[in-house]
Amino acid sequence: MKLLSKLPDVGTTIFTVMSQLATDHQAINLGQGFPDFNPDDKLLDLVNQAMREGHNQYPPMAGIPALRREISSKLESLHGYYYNPETEITVTSGASEALMASILAFVHSGDEVIIIEPFYDLYISAIQLAGGIPVVVPMIAPTDDTPIFKVDWQRVRDAITSKTRMLVINFPHNPTGIRLNQIDLDALEQIVAATDILVLSDEVYEHLVFDGYEHLSLARNATIAANAITVFSFGKTYSATGWKIGYCCAPKALMTEIRKVHQFLVFTVTSPMQHALAQYMKDSKPYLDLAGFYQQKRNRLTQGLATSRFRVLPSQGTFFLLADYSQISDMSEAEFARWMTIEHGVGVIPVSAFYRRPDALQSNHSLVRFCFAKRDDTLNTAIEKLISV
């Protein structure tokens, strides 16, 4: 039988490939983004308690009401925007499922969807599975004078056609670590006001914004929020990436369509974790303290690399930072990442993997991504190895 692949250009994701390589070579894994420490004991106890109390059967399709209510009041207190927990919030199997369900719900065959490059790998495949056409708008790459990626909103506007259905954005941004500024939010508002494009906003790193800045959720702008789906992940916020629980929020008419997809993708999401999260979320301290916690780790890695031949780019948010290795090698990013893992015992991710054509010259800027969501002793050991590269 001749199979016709729906995703002929897709292999195994770079995160899985590089984690496997790190395991095979006993390297420290600063590649795939996940903490190497446990969630808070209090949260683990709450899960245990929920299981013992009998919360082990199918919960409601959209998520348990108590959790949706907590999510609603959190978003309202942080961003001043009210999402109705009954009709406008759905608990999903990680942010991944929320993104996939949103794209499948709204993108029809032949619709164009704008994504900004570099981009998280899920978006392009989800668009293709929906029969949509990805329209890739590159960011402005860093230079010696401006060592940070930037979105060129004029290019985004220029990419809009009568077929554009959706714009996908992600701030704080994986892998570049840039955050959204008021100027970006204003540019987005203009776009939304002038068109009927939906905005899919991947905000999984919402609590990881450094140096005293606040995360600007799209929920802060009522014009945008009326046309947007905002997506979040408990995995990042509570150091529990393996639980695969997230949620999305959108106006009722949009959420009705997303739930139609959600109910057939997974129907609902693991019950005891939802009960535990609904309790744990009542305390804002754990998520409000997160930026400070990770900022110290960012600083540790940045300072640790100061005497190395890597040149660190500023990380405004996420638990990633990029480093330029042009003083070390002229290998492609993919080759360099493998070489680092195998020969130097530190697993990293090539930034080119976040490009549509990873092998192209324009996708290679001699940059690799480090994940600093690691214990301090892990970071210290990695730094020792990195200094000698």
Identity of the residue, 106 or 370, whose beta carbon is nearer to ligand GLN in the bound complex: 370
Q: What's the CA gap between 165 and 189, in Å, rounded?
A: 16
Which of residues 29, 32, 164, 315 is near ligand GLN by CB under 6 A? 32
- Neighbour count for residue 18 (Cβ, 10 Å): 26
Q: What's the CA gap between 124 and 133, in Å, rounded?
A: 9
Q: Interface residues for ligand PMP in 20-39 (CB under 6 A)?
A: 33
In our burial notation (b when 16+ CB lie closer than 10 A, e otherwise), range 152-189 reads ebeebeebbeeebbbbbbbbbbbbbbbbbeeebbebbe
Q: What's the CA gap between 87 and 83, in Å, rounded?
A: 8
For ligand GLN (CB under 6 A), the number of binding residues is 5
Identity of the residue, 72 or 128, whose beta carbon is nearer to ligand GLN in the bound complex: 128
| Residue 299, C-beta contacts closer than 8 angstroms, at least 6 positions apart | none
Contact call for residue 246 and ligand PMP (CB under 6 A): yes
For ligand PMP (CB under 6 A), the number of binding residues is 14
Identity of the residue, 81 or 210, whose beta carbon is nearer to ligand GLN in the bound complex: 210
331, two tokens: 């290998």
Which three-class secondary structure state does DSSP give residue 329?
coil
Which of residues 81, 106, 120, 336 is near ligand PMP by CB under 6 A? 120
Instruction: Kindly indicate which of the ranges 208-216, 238-246, 272-280, 336-344 contains the residues binding ligand PMP, using the contact rule CB under 6 A.
Output: 238-246
Vertex 365, ends 363 and 370: CA angle to 5°?
105
284-289-294-300 Cα dihedral, nearest 10 degrees: -170
Residue type, 187: A
194, two tokens: 């002038």
Vertex 91, ends 116 and 76: CA angle to 5°?
80
DSSP states along 172-235 = SPTTT-----HHHHHHHHHHHHHS--EEEEE-TTTT-B-TT-----GGG-HHHHTTEEEEEEHH
Contact call for residue 237 and ligand PMP (CB under 6 A): no
Identity of the residue, 89 or 204, whose beta carbon is nearer to ligand GLN in the bound complex: 204
Residue type, 36: D
Residue 94 interacting entry, from ligand PMP, ligand GLN, none, C-beta within 5 to 8 Å by type:
ligand PMP
Q: Which residue is nearest to ligand PMP (CB)?
A: 94
Q: How far is the CB of 32 from ligand PMP (least distance, A)?
A: 8
Residue 15 interacting entry, from ligand GLN, ligand PMP, none, C-beta within 5 to 8 Å by type:
ligand GLN
Contact call for residue 96 and ligand PMP (CB under 6 A): yes
166, two tokens: 């959706």
Contact call for residue 204 and ligand PMP (CB under 6 A): yes
- Neighbour count for residue 56 (Cβ, 10 Å): 12
Contact call for residue 176 and ligand PMP (CB under 6 A): no
Contact call for residue 235 and ligand PMP (CB under 6 A): yes
Q: Cβ(250)–Cβ(218) under 8 Å?
A: no
Residue 202 interacting entry, from ligand GLN, ligand PMP, none, C-beta within 5 to 8 Å by type:
ligand PMP
Identity of the residue, 121 or 257, whose beta carbon is nearer to ligand GLN in the bound complex: 121
Identity of the residue, 92 or 227, whose beta carbon is nearer to ligand PMP in the bound complex: 92
Residue 206 interacting entry, from ligand GLN, ligand PMP, none, C-beta within 5 to 8 Å by type:
none
Which of residues 92, 164, 174, 237 is near ligand GLN by CB under 6 A? 174
Contact call for residue 233 and ligand PMP (CB under 6 A): yes
Contact call for residue 202 and ligand PMP (CB under 6 A): yes
| Residue 207, C-beta contacts closer than 8 angstroms, at least 6 positions apart | 215, 236, 237, 287, 288, 290, 291
Which of residues 72, 128, 170, 352 is near ligand PMP by CB under 6 A? 170
Contact call for residue 177 and ligand PMP (CB under 6 A): no
Interface mask (CB under 6 A) for ligand GLN, residues 274-313, using x and -? Answer: ----------------------------------------
Tell me the H-state helices in 25-141: 41-52, 65-79, 94-106, 122-129
Which residues contribute to the site for ligand GLN (CB under 6 A)?
13, 15, 32-33, 174
Which residues contribute to the site for ligand PMP (CB under 6 A)?
33, 94-96, 120, 170, 174, 202, 204, 233, 235, 241, 244, 246
